[in-house]
């Protein structure tokens, strides 16, 4: 063991990943026999580790570990830009050094190690400090059961968001079934998270613009009505530890919807808008109804021409169609989804409250139940699968379909371990549920009585759930909401802040447009230089400067701003993927293609930034007009949209 090497590694971790130091500092390597290092041929260090049966297994070659490291890493493609190389197990670090010796500038090595003793032992023998400080290697330690490994992995993958399109895996050649099972769990965790992340990423900036326009148009309603924060301030934990039932519109709802009458007044009934017609048919009035879709079709299917019960409170995020809010003549609950763009709007109105929203209306209602402290959270009608007859939704649902199950290719397991047919979207919803239940430690009961099994839930019949949990009369949600008054002074301040915030955001997008136009000019000049033939080092520098300007002055600045990043993340990811495919070899053709790809991105950013500016300008005029109707204030009338920002 070399104390100097260990201290160099620890000093590096203190600057890069300080939690690593905390995790291993109390581990005593003296007198332990779990892992032993001894000298092999040619003086190389060899690691042997004790298995569960008491026998030892070698973690690297006794004869030539350097040669072995080259052989087991030979399939890694180092020409891929921005690759995430995943090494499971540290061993004695020979394979890590081999990878680091070939790692390109924009790729990173992520190492996951289950055994903290093995890891701490490594730090005495292999100096990784330079790579740690350079941000070329990162570590995750622990097991799934003890160390919340799933949360650590997801956090690290978010950190290296731009690298996860090209993940390459390095596994040690160890004949240990526990290690093999550990690797399989990690790879499944990463695959599921990557798939879900790409699903929630979305691919339409136009949809995002619709959501932004909706939020602006809904702000007057949001401002005038009590927010979730107002509710919590006045009533605190009034529903803490009380049952909440989330009512979705899956086909199994037909089986047990009538039993919900027994839960009225004794559980918070939180209804997805698609279940309202079924509830109405059975004379069940939910405490809350919600929606999350921003499109007109949702309004037309579930709200248009329909009378909502006065005792039902709308608790929808501001992203939905304004017509949905206008359907309600009663007070509604104002809240925002927990995402960067919504967070910006929430700050604009002095924090009405945010909830975790997942990707569906049922997810959002789970977020509301969590915010209210409800426990347990009970799912009803949450099939996330077709019925045995191929039916998608409850019989009263306005939007449903019946499919030929022989054409279905995607299946999930039900509570009995049998395959049930589903869709790609429903499967993603299922995975989001499972991730939330696991990471947020949610006490969740699935009383759907059909459909997919949601891992982490307790499965019970609805009648049994009601008998066990729904015995106490609860305060009426409508009564509590109606008792909250929104002060006129707050309304005045909120309108003022909204107008000024819209101006600030417009200035941000105006700067984005100007920078992109400047970058386009550099791009075109560089492309012309290549087409005419580079004659001098100065001309070559100008080509590289044009590429770097787009990467550092445009893309990286956008990615540092949460709102801009969420708005442009899809075209940026698509661009990164295209550039990665060019490889690491530098030729004139590669440089020209790089410039072409960047040009496409710049044009997209300019186009949608200008669309955003039009929405902000129109939204400013709309808010100012609404403020004039509500308030008589010279201060608001004197706030003017700056000239010269709106593009021609």
Instruction: Please write the tens of the pLDDT for every residue from 514-573.
Output: 999 999 999 999 999 999 999 999 999 999 999 999 999 999 999 889 889 889 988 998
Instruction: Please write the tens of the pLDDT for every residue from 264-291.
Output: 999 999 999 999 999 999 999 999 999 9
User: 82 CB contacts (<8 Å, ≥6 apart)?
Assistant: 106, 107, 162, 163, 165, 166, 576, 580
Q: What is the pLDDT of residue 647?
A: 55
Determine contact, residues 615/209, Cβ cutoff 8 Å: yes
Q: What is the pLDDT of residue 15?
A: 95
Averaged pLDDT, 436-460: 95
C-alpha–C-alpha distance, residues 427 and 386, integer Å: 12
Q: Which of 274, 273, 263, 312 is nearest to 394 (CA)?
A: 274
User: 156 CB contacts (<8 Å, ≥6 apart)?
Assistant: 110, 138, 140
Instruction: Please write the tens of the pLDDT for every residue from 48-98.
Output: 988 888 889 999 899 999 999 999 999 999 988 889 999 999 999 999 999
Q: What is the pLDDT of residue 6?
A: 95
541-574 burial, b for 16+ CB within 10 Å, e for fewer? Answer: eebeebbebbbeebbeebeeeebbbbbbbbbbbb
Determine contact, residues 91/69, Cβ cutoff 8 Å: no
CATH 3.40.1620 applies to domain 205-482? no
Instruction: Please write the tens of the pLDDT for every residue from 227-253.
Output: 999 999 999 999 999 999 999 999 999
Determine contact, residues 526/597, Cβ cutoff 8 Å: no
User: 48 CB contacts (<8 Å, ≥6 apart)?
Assistant: 35, 36, 38, 56, 57, 58, 59
Determine contact, residues 152/23, Cβ cutoff 8 Å: no
Determine contact, residues 313/332, Cβ cutoff 8 Å: yes
Determine contact, residues 526/595, Cβ cutoff 8 Å: yes
Averaged pLDDT, 252-271: 96
Determine contact, residues 447/379, Cβ cutoff 8 Å: yes
Residue 399: alpha-carbon gap to chain centroid: 27
User: 17 CB contacts (<8 Å, ≥6 apart)?
Assistant: 132, 138, 139
Question: Which DSSP symbol is given to 244?
Answer: E
Q: What is the pLDDT of residue 197?
A: 75
C-alpha–C-alpha distance, residues 358 and 1, integer Å: 48
Q: What is the 3-state secondary structure (H, E, C) of 100-168?
A: HHHCCCCCEEEEEECCHHHHHHHCCCCCCHHHHHCCCEEEEECCHHHHCHHHHHHHHHHHCHHHCCCEE
Torsion of CA 638, 641, 643, 645, to 10 degrees: 160
Instruction: Please write the tens of the pLDDT for every residue from 464-485.
Output: 999 999 999 999 999 999 999 9
**Residue 417 or residue 161, greater confidence:** 417
By DSSP bridging, strand 167-171 and strand 288-290 are: unpaired
C-alpha–C-alpha distance, residues 10 and 164, integer Å: 27
State the CATH class of domain 3-201.
alpha beta
Pair of tokens at residue 501 = 């915030």
Averaged pLDDT, 160-168: 85
Residue 408: alpha-carbon gap to chain centroid: 28
Q: Which of 597, 543, 548 is nearest to 572 (CA)?
A: 597
C-alpha–C-alpha distance, residues 347 and 227, integer Å: 12
Q: What is the pLDDT of residue 554?
A: 95
Averaged pLDDT, 146-166: 83
Q: What is the pLDDT of residue 573?
A: 86
Q: What is the pLDDT of residue 648?
A: 52
Degrees to nearest 5, angle at CA 318 with 312 and 324? 50
Q: What is the pLDDT of residue 582?
A: 84
* Alpha helix (H) residue ranges in 26-126: 65-72, 94-102, 116-122
User: 389 CB contacts (<8 Å, ≥6 apart)?
Assistant: 402
- By three-state DSSP, how is residue 92 classified? coil
C-alpha–C-alpha distance, residues 485 and 507, integer Å: 35
Instruction: Please write the tens of the pLDDT for every residue from 7-19.
Output: 999 999 999 999 9
Radius of gyration of the chain (CA): 29
Considering the chain, what percentage of its residues have pLDDT values greater than 90? 73
Determine contact, residues 176/57, Cβ cutoff 8 Å: yes
Determine contact, residues 567/608, Cβ cutoff 8 Å: yes
| Inter-helix orientation angle 562-580/488-532, to 10° | 20
Cα→Cα distances 402→138, 252, 391, 418, 422, Å: 49, 14, 4, 21, 12
In this model, does residue 354 exceed pLDDT 80? yes
pLDDT band at 384 (very low <50, low <70, confident <90, very high): very high
Q: What is the pLDDT of residue 646?
A: 62
CA atoms in the 13 A half-sphere facing the CB of 447: 27
Determine contact, residues 247/361, Cβ cutoff 8 Å: no
The kind and range of the H/E element at 515 are helix 488-532
The 288-290 sheet, strands edge to edge: 313-314, 288-290, 268-272, 244-247, 377-380, 444-446, 458-459
Residue 222: alpha-carbon gap to chain centroid: 25
Dihedral sign from CA coordinates of 89, 92, 96, 102 = negative
Burial of residue 648, with CB atoms counted within 10 A of its CB: 0-12 exposed, 13-18 middle, 19 or more buried: exposed
Residue with tokens 């919600």: 290
Q: What is the pLDDT of residue 145?
A: 74
608-634 burial, b for 16+ CB within 10 Å, e for fewer? Answer: bbbbbbebbbebbebbbebbeebeeee
**Residue 634 or residue 580, greater confidence:** 580
In this model, does residue 203 exceed pLDDT 70? no
Determine contact, residues 317/342, Cβ cutoff 8 Å: yes
- Residue positions counted in the chain: 648
Pair of tokens at residue 528 = 């012309």
Residue 524: phi and psi, rounded to 5, are -65, -40
Please provide the average confidence, as pLDDT, over all residues in the chain: 92
Degrees to nearest 5, angle at CA 448 with 371 and 353? 15
Q: Name the residue ranges covered by the structural domains of the chain.
A: 3-201, 205-482, 491-637
Question: Which DSSP symbol is given to 226?
Answer: -
Q: What is the pLDDT of residue 147?
A: 62
Determine contact, residues 123/169, Cβ cutoff 8 Å: no
| Helices (runs of H) and strands (runs of E) counted in the chain | 26, 18
In this model, does residue 189 exceed pLDDT 70? yes
């Amino acid at each position: 063991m070399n104390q100097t090497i260990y201290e160099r590694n620890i000093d590096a971790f203190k600057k890069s990943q300080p939690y690593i130091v905390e995790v291993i500092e109390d581990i005593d390597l003296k007198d332990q026999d779990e892992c032993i290092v001894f000298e092999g041929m040619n003086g190389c260090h060899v690691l042997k580790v004790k298995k569960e049966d008491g026998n030892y297994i070698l973690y690297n070659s006794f004869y030539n570990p350097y040669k072995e490291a080259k052989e087991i890493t030979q399939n890694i493609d180092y020409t891929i830009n921005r690759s995430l190389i995943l090494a499971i197990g540290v061993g004695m670090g020979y394979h890590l050094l081999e990878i680091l010796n070939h790692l390109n500038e924009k790729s990173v090595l992520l190492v996951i190690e289950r055994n903290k003793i093995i890891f701490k032992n490594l730090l005495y023998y292999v100096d990784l400090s330079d790579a740690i400080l350079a941000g070329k290697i990162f570590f995750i330690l622990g097991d799934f059961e003890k160390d919340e490994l799933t949360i650590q992995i997801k956090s690290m993958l978010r950190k290296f968001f731009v690298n996860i399109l090209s993940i390459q895996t390095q596994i040690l050649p160890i004949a240990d079934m526990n290690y093999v099972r550990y690797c399989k769990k990690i790879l499944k965790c990463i695959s599921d998270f990557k798939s879900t992340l790409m699903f929630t990423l979305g691919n339409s900036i136009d949809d995002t613009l619709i959501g932004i326009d909706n939020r602006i148009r809904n702000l007057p309603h949001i401002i005038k009505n009590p927010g979730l924060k107002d509710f919590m301030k006045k009533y605190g934990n009034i529903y803490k530890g009380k049952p909440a039932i989330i009512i979705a519109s899956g086909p199994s709802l037909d089986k047990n919807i009538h039993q919900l009458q027994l839960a009225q007044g004794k559980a918070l009934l939180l209804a997805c808008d698609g279940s309202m017609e079924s509830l109405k048919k059975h004379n069940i009035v939910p405490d809350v109804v919600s929606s999350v879709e921003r499109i007109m079709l949702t309004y037309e299917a579930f709200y248009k021409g329909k009378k909502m019960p006065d005792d039902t409170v709308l608790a929808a995020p501001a992203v939905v169609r304004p017509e949905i809010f206008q359907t309600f003549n009663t007070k509604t609950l104002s809240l925002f989804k927990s995402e960067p763009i919504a967070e910006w709007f929430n700050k604009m109105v002095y924090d009405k409250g945010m909830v975790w929203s997942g990707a569906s209306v049922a997810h959002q209602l789970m977020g509301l139940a969590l915010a209210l402290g409800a426990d347990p959270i009970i799912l009803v009608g949450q099939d996330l699968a077709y019925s045995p007859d191929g039916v998608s939704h409850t019989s009263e649902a306005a939007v449903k379909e019946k499919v030929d199950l022989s054409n279905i290719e995607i299946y999930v397991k039900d509570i009995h371990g049998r395959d049930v047919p589903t869709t790609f979207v429903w499967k993603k919803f299922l995975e989001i549920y499972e991730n939330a239940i696991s990471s947020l430690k949610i006490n969740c009961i699935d009383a759907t009585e059909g459909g997919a099994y949601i891992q982490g839930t307790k499965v019970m019949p609805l009648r049994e759930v009601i008998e066990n949990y729904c015995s106490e009369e609860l305060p009426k949600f409508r009564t509590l909401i109606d008792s909250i008054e929104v002060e006129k002074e707050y309304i005045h301040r909120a309108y003022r802040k909204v107008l000024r915030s819209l101006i600030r955001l417009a200035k941000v997008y105006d700067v984005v447009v100007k920078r992109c136009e400047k970058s386009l000019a550099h791009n075109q000049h560089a492309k012309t230089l290549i087409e005419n033939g580079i004659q001098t080092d100065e001309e070559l520098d100008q080509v590289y400067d044009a590429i770097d300007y787009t990467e550092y002055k445009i893309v990286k600045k956008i990615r540092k701003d949460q709102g801009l990043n969420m708005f442009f993340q899809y075209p940026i990811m698509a661009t990164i993927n295209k550039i990665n495919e060019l490889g690491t070899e530098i030729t004139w053709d590669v440089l020209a293609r790089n410039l072409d790809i960047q040009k496409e991105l710049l044009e997209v950013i300019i186009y949608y930034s200008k669309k955003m500016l039009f929405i902000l300008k129109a939204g400013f005029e709309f808010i100012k007009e609404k403020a004039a109707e509500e308030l008589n204030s010279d201060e608001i009338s004197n706030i003017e949209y700056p000239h010269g920002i709106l593009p021609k």
